Structure 1
């Protein structure tokens, strides 16, 4: 129902786009009719991309997801630019009404509307084009040192590769997974932490696309994200365990590095509450020893982790905002959007993730694989 509501909102906003880009810039009925039909088709594709994939399956969704989602990104930035141009349009309103007549000069009004349209299309097209290159290109490998108090000597220099939000689905498939696995193996980490949102579809649809995860060399541990629950979390857990990955279901394991041990804990995503599989952090931390690293999909879970004395939480979920300026919206709901920060005395690291939700476009939030190195404080 939420996505249906979003789809209706998108349709409504297309009326503003039609007014500024079609009605205000055309003079002939034929041109206006053709432009209206084209805009209506793209609007329909955008709504279909938002609403239909869960109902028609991944294979069918591929046909309309690519044009629909790309248009959705272009539509969003067209709205932003056109809205920003409303003030200059208002300031130039007098220019369209020559003092001698006081009536609107249609040629000036048309010039102003078309100039605004050209600026909007050129700007939005450039932003979305660059954003698509960023989203669909190889992730950046970030290397981050995290100073931890009372870190045992044997744990110093231990490296954890963090990957999140792979989002296999109508847009991203097996080649996406192969690239990620190759890059993770090239970082030569001591262990890999997958912190949720692997797929937007079922194992039957996307199991083949996820199969390269079985080629990860380092021991790999994972927790669920919110999208696992939308896609059938239990079959995905079973499939990943079959591939050799280790599921941390509100539990922890001891990782030996050098002569010392690290407690690696994991909790389910907060969305799991709606599926009788909610996070239980106290249980996940039972029996911990020494330094504790927690895998939790959403950064907001660090607020609880801080009260329980967790040293470091590794999260994803935010995509770094994915499309500027959405990071402001994300920041209102999460304690951090991207990178390293602190919640009380607990370190929180949030990766931008390697996939996308919705448009295959990233603006101001490049995809990344993060290699966390533990260091003494």
Structure 2
């Protein structure tokens, strides 16, 4: 097993290095006329970028000093997104290259004299004075390489820049109405603000948390559900960033369940801390909201720490004639929710793929990528999340905070 894991890691690293070398060849070697400082600078960038990326990931996972994490996170994670879209743009350039080559060839052709025209004898001219040798013009191959390379780099930078702006300006509010057969008329229109995957950490900090709080409070919800992956780091490092969440306001309070990222730095300290700032953790627990039951289970990752989801504890002895809403971080938990007669599960985790074409991978790994779907009598709503992990960039998967409005079929 260990040998297979090592071989898999080596294969991934080899593929990663090969793709970077391909991008270097196309963007640096093919666009520079020969050895010199431009080529050396390009080589340095293509070495520093991956090194910073791996250093950023390693520093976060190893719990390195927080200032070091922050110093590495922005350049390292942005390189991750930029390298992805640079590679995709260069691959598109491979398809466009033959067309550009024909255009350049056509533009360099010069019509000769007609065959039936006699060329006049040139008059003798005096020998010209010697001139300095002209500077050689760039070859067509060099012009083509520079055109494709520049267009690829500009496209990648534009995509990443726009995706980063979308994250940093804050999530947009989505509104979804979910009818529940068991919901009494008295609870018709009950609004739950679903907040997932904020990922406060070395990149998104206190300012982003304040933006999220203002957006959530602006929806005036009846209840706030924080469904995991709130943080990427320890309480010691991130307590100041999380502090604004104490201002979250709703009629029935804020409830919290763990996501997989809480377990990277220790879920128990975070469960204690969110309680201190006014949230109510639902660690395999249930509360009666009057018209329906609200339950929450720990994330699947907690099983490695002896704190996995316990559906029996959260749902086993409840009155099944009442509607039940379950907070569970990962969509794959829907299958247990169905077995326990849950009416609605609220989840996050997928980020909607975050970076296209990552949505195809995320879709294959989860029963629902984003939005509302039914599984028998149980409905599942998956939020794309409010923040971002790794690169503070989203492409094709805009961030959201969703207001889920429960509807009674008796109304």
Q: 1:271 aligns with which of 298, 301, 308?
A: 301
Check the 8 A contact 2:101/2:144 in 1, yes or no. no
Question: 1:243 maps to which residue?
Answer: 277
Q: Is the 8 A contact 1:7 1:51 kept in 2?
A: no
Match of 1:255 in 2: 289
Structure 2 unaligned segments of length 5 or more: list them: 107-137
Q: Which residue of 1 aligns with 2:192?
A: 160
Matching residue of 1:16 = 22
Q: Which residue of 1 aligns with 2:132?
A: none
Q: 2:51 aligns with which of 29, 36, 44?
A: 44
TM-score, with length taken from structure 1:
0.91
Do 2:337 and 2:378's aligned partners in 1 also have CA atoms closer than 8 Å? yes
- Number of paired residues? 368
Report how far residue 95 of structure 1 moved.
8.8
2:206 to 156, 174, 183: 174
SS in 2 for 1:17: helix
Q: Say yes or no: does 1:312 pair with 2:344.
A: yes
Q: CA deviation at 1:10?
A: 3.9
Query: Secondary structure of 1:253's partner?
Result: strand
Please list the CA deviations of residues 57-111 of structure 1 after superposition, one character each: whole Å capped at 9, or x if unmatched.
322111121111112111110111112332334677799999xxxxxxx922222
CA distance 1:183–1:93, shift in 2 (3 Å):
closer
Q: Is 1:161–1:184's contact at 8 Å kept on the other side of the alignment?
A: yes
CA distance in structure 2 between the aligned counterparts of 1:92 and 1:366, rounded to whole angstroms:
34
State the 1:136 CA deviation.
Answer: 0.7
Counterpart CA distance in 1 for 2:229 and 2:218 is 22
1:113 and 2:113 are equivalent in the alignment: no
Structure 1 counterpart SS, 2:166: helix
Highest CA radius of gyration, 1 or 2?
2
* Aligned-pair CA distance for 1:376: 2.4
Moved more, 352-361 or 214-223: 214-223
In 2, Cα distance between the equivalents of 1:294 and 1:315? 9
Aligned 8 A contact 2:316 2:340 in 1: no
Aligned equivalent of 1:88, options 80, 86, 96: 96
What does residue 32 of structure 2 align with? 26
Deviation of 1:145 after TM superposition, in Å, equals 0.6
Report the Cα offset of residue 45 of structure 1.
Answer: 1.6
Report the Cα distance in structure 2 between the residues aligned to 1:7 and 1:356, rounded to whole angstroms.
Answer: 24
Residue in 2 aligned with 1:341? 373
Distance of aligned partners of 1:9 and 1:269 in 2 relative to their CA distance in 1, 3 Å threshold = farther
Q: CA RMSD in A?
A: 2.4
What SS does the aligned partner of 1:279 have?
coil
3-state SS of paired residue (1:24): helix
Match 1:283 to one of 313, 328, 353:
313
1:374 alignment partner in structure 2: 406
SS in 1 for 2:289: strand
- Once the 2 structures are TM-superposed, how far is the Cα of residue 119 of structure 1 from its aligned partner? 1.9
Distance 1:338 1:279, change over 3 A: same
Q: 206, 220, 230: which one pairs with 2:264?
A: 230
Counterparts of 1:367 and 1:285, CA distance in 2: 31
Q: Distance in 2 between matches of 1:345 and 1:116?
A: 53
Q: TM-score, normalised by structure 2?
A: 0.84
Distance 2:211 2:352 in 1: 20
Does structure 2 conserve the Cα–Cα contact (< 8 Å) formed by 1:7 and 1:47?
no
Q: What runs of 5+ residues in structure 1 fail to find an aligned partner?
A: 99-105
- Could you say if the C-alpha distance between residues 64 and 8 of structure 1 is closer, same or farther in structure 2, counting changes exceeding 3 Å? farther
Is 1:145 aligned to residue 177 of structure 2? yes
Task: Give the structure 1 partner of residue 115 of structure 2.
Answer: none
SS at match of 2:385: coil
